[in-house]
Structure 1
Amino acid sequence: MTARRTRRMTAAKTRKTLNSRIAAVGAIAVAGSMLLTGCGDQTDSNEGTPAKETGSAAAPGNELNELLPQAIRDKGVVKVGSDIAYPPVEFKDDSGKTVGLDPDIAAALGKELGVKFEFENGTFDTLITGLRSKRYDIAMSAMSDTKDRQNGVDSETGKKVGEGVDFVDYFTAGVSIYTKKGDDKGIKNWSDLCGKKIVVQRGTVSEDLAKAQSKKCGSKGKITIEAFGNDLEAQTRLRAGGADAGSADFPVAAYAVETSGGGKDFQIVGDQVEAAPYGIAVAKDNAQLRDALKAALDEIIKNGEYKKIIDKWGVAAGAVTEAKVNGGS
């Protein structure tokens, strides 16, 4: 998720690649008995759910633990702000436990750093504000690393709105359009949305892409954009026939296509666009934490834990080979 309007476009994906990635996500959905389309309670903002699932944290005093700020070493916890309603990246399973790609990566980082990562639920468009106010130590929520976010610039107005954040990049994803299954309304790409209605999650690249495309529509008619607090609400609206299409990050759209209504509700149309890195957001004045996270991420990539997690969630196409700081454009 992101608020960046102009990033590089991905190379076109073949239908074979799309189908194989969706199938991989589907296999996980069956094997792991996950929540259908997934949803976190957006009002449950005070919940702290440890991302760590198995094993024990490395003993304090190890090399990576010593890289952390003393305050975090003392409390043994990294507080994570996250919109826990974005399967398969982060969501709640049937028992109410926070699961997904991000919690698993966070747990692996915690093992290396000798601390626990505790996820706290919040709406996506407030996470950076929560980071600035010290409510969270980091924000980890399928958040795309962009220059605007790094510099604290509102992507729509171009105005400076804050000091910005740093990112430790850990994954790459593009954006997809999806429609009701068997009823694509002639939509194959973003220009086909002119004169139609799309549902999106507020504050995401999907919303900004729709706004940018709408300005180009001319005589075809503007795009009607309905933005929601979370992606599940957007899916519900489309499922009920209240829009022509929806848009989300590719892993999320693929998961919805495979799981919603047993795979009978939605279909992806066209190719994913706007490939960009997901980053763990850290306050600009917390470079020590940023660098410790980078070192831990490089370690789990090196020791193979990262690959195990990526493969578990069926998103190998988005894997990175090294941790980068502020690699977004």
Structure 2
Amino acid sequence: MGLLTAKVSRFPLARRFAVPRNKGSKAMDMKKLKTTKATALVAAGLIALTGCTSASEAGGTSQPSGAATFDPASVSKDDALAALVPDKIKSKGTLVVGSDTTYAPAEFLAASDGQTAVGYDIDIAKAIGATLGLKVEVQTSGFDGILPALGPKYDLGVSSFFITKERSKAANFVSYFQAGTQWATQKGNPKNVNLDDLCGKPVSVQTGTFQEDPDISGRSAKCVAAGKPPIEVVSLKNQTDVATRLVTGGVESMAAGSITTAYAIAQSDGKLQTLGDVYGASPVGIAVAKDDLPLADAVAQAMNKLIKDGSYKKILDAWGTGTGSIEKAEVNPQVNK
């Protein structure tokens, strides 16, 4: 089993790991070239290792052993709930979902074709769609581009959004999961990274996430206020790149949602370990346009039916993420942050 699932053609290794040419020394050029090739081979190997198979898909989606790809046909349409769907969506018959498919095991691209979105978030979205009598179309998007596109482009944003007061200004959220923040470092913590003193340390994190701001940005501000160097934040668009940067030694630690960090560690072939404890457990939500409360309400009621009939638990258990389950979905739940 490997660490990452990624579309190699979209994120070419040469661009990610290129080393500037030093014209002053041919010997140095060759040394750098060898280093660059070695680094690229490590990353390529990590990507290739994501082809491990599950019991349900010979192509391999990096699902836990025995996990079954969710079948929307197993969920029946609820006519009463389907009647709550706004006419503009009901008429097209499809829920268009925006998702950053680099965040395994919640949402990522199947290794079998590099195009099909899979993960527990994807299965939950499909189950909601089936309950409401709608097809679900998942479109890959950069994480920070999903919320601004709700309404005109996406009906829902299903991408492991921690619900925060700031995000709630931009969208409605339907809670469906809970998770905290978990840091990771290389196995054995060779750089002796201490979460209480990250000043001047290189840290990788996905752009636009709760971990980037306010968590790491707040830690960095405290460093500066104390007269210390700020945290060297390596903000990357894709969670796969965040983990790869740590494995290959480009940074000393990374921060992500607790489920995602645990999954990355489990898939790292012993290259990563946790750093500190999980903290800041918060609700995770499905995003809906701010001016579309009726759709948010329909999604919440569909979610609660899935919780009640056991479909929700089956999905999470299949992906090994049952510890993040909740008892009731709410529209715009109260949050502290």
Shorter-chain TM-score tier: 0.7 to 0.9
Partner residue, 2:245:
237
Shift of 1:309: 1.0
Pairing partner for 1:137 from 155, 158, 163: 155
Aligned position for 1:187: 193
Q: Tell me the alpha carbon deviations over residues 80-136 of structure 1, each in whole angstroms, 9 at most, x when there is no partner.
A: 01101100000012123211010111121122111112110010011111115x110
Task: Indicate conservation of the 8 Å contact 2:258/2:278, yes or no.
Answer: yes
Map of 2:218 onto structure 1: 212
Displacement of 1:306: 0.6
Partner of 2:137: 118
1:142 is aligned with what amino acid? S
Measured after TM superposition, the shift of residue 316 of structure 1 is 1.8
State, as a whole percentage, how many aligned pairs show the same letter. Answer: 38
Match of 1:250 in 2: 258
* Distance change (3 Å), C-alpha of 1:306 and 1:35: farther
Q: Distance in 2 between matches of 1:35 and 1:135?
A: 34
Q: 1:246 to 1:43 in 2, by over 3 A?
A: same
2:90 is equivalent to residue 76 of structure 1: no
- How many equivalent residue pairs? 273
Segments of 5+ residues of structure 1 without an aligned counterpart are 1-33, 45-51, 152-163
The residue matched to 2:216 in structure 1 has which SS?
helix
Aligned match of 1:39: 6
Counterpart in 2 of 1:21? Answer: none
Shift of 1:42: 9.9
Indicate the residue corresponding to 1:88 in structure 2: 105
* C-alpha contact (below 8 Å) 1:171/1:277 kept by paired residues: yes
* In structure 1, distance between residues paired with 2:204 and 2:301: 38
The residue identity in structure 2 corresponding to 1:137 is D
Q: Is the 8 A contact 1:40 1:121 kept in 2?
A: no
**Aligned match of 2:119:** 100
Cross-structure match for 2:71: 54
Instruction: Note the C-alpha offset of 1:317.
Output: 1.8
Asked if 1:201 is matched to 2:168, the reply is: no
TM-score in terms of structure 1 length: 0.77
Greater relative contact order (CA < 8 Å, ≥ 6 in sequence) = 1
Please show how residues 218-233 of structure 1 align to structure 2 within 5 Å. 218-233=226-241
1:286-327: CA deviation from partner (whole Å, max 9, x where unpaired) = 111111101100100000111111111112221110011111
Amino acid at match of 1:89: A
Q: Is the 8 A contact 2:259 2:321 kept in 1?
A: yes
Match of 1:320 in 2: 326
- Whole-angstrom distance in 2 between the partners of 1:60 and 1:176: 37
Q: Secondary structure at the match of 2:73?
A: coil
Instruction: Name the CA distance, whole Å, in 2 between partners of 1:243 and 1:273.
Output: 22
In 1: Cα distance, 2:75 partner to 2:240 partner: 36
After superposition, give the CA deviation of every residue in 1:34-89 in whole Å (9 maximum; x if it has no partner): 87422357969xxxxxxx95253878781111110112112211000110110000
d(CA) in 1 for partners of 2:78, 2:244: 48
On the 8 A contact 2:78/2:132 being kept in 1, the answer is no
The answer (yes or no) to whether the contact 1:101–1:309 under 8 Å persists in 2 is yes
* Structure 1 equivalent of residue 303 of structure 2: 297
Q: What residue is the counterpart of 2:272 in the other structure? A: 266
Corresponding residue for residue 18 of structure 1: none
Shift in CA distance, 68/35, structure 1 to aligned 2, threshold 3 Å: farther
Separation in 2, partners of 1:203, 1:122: 13
CA distance in structure 2 between the aligned counterparts of 1:226 and 1:147, rounded to whole angstroms: 25
- The aligned amino acid for 2:207 is R
Residues 183 and 276, structure 2, Cα contact 8 Å, conserved in 1: yes
Alignment RMSD (CA, Å): 2.2
Is contact 1:176–1:253 with CA below 8 Å preserved after alignment?
A: yes
**Quick one: distance in 2 between partners of 1:201 and 1:253?**
12
Q: Distance in 2 between matches of 1:295 and 1:61?
A: 10
Q: Deviations over 1:188-238 (max 9, x none)?
A: 42x231231101111112212111101112244321111011111122222
Amino acid at match of 2:122: P
CA, structure 1 residues 111+202, in 2 after alignment: closer, same or farther (shift >3 Å)?
same
Q: Is the 8 A contact 1:57 1:112 kept in 2?
A: no
TM-fit CA distance, 1:254: 0.6
2:77 touches 2:131 (CA, 8 Å); kept in 1? no
Counterpart-to-counterpart distance in 2, 1:241 and 1:67: 51
TM-score computed with the length of structure 2 as normaliser: 0.76
Is the alpha carbon distance of 1:313 and 1:59 closer, same or farther for their aligned partners in structure 2, counting shifts above 3 Å?
Answer: closer
Q: Distance in 2 between matches of 1:227 and 1:131?
A: 24
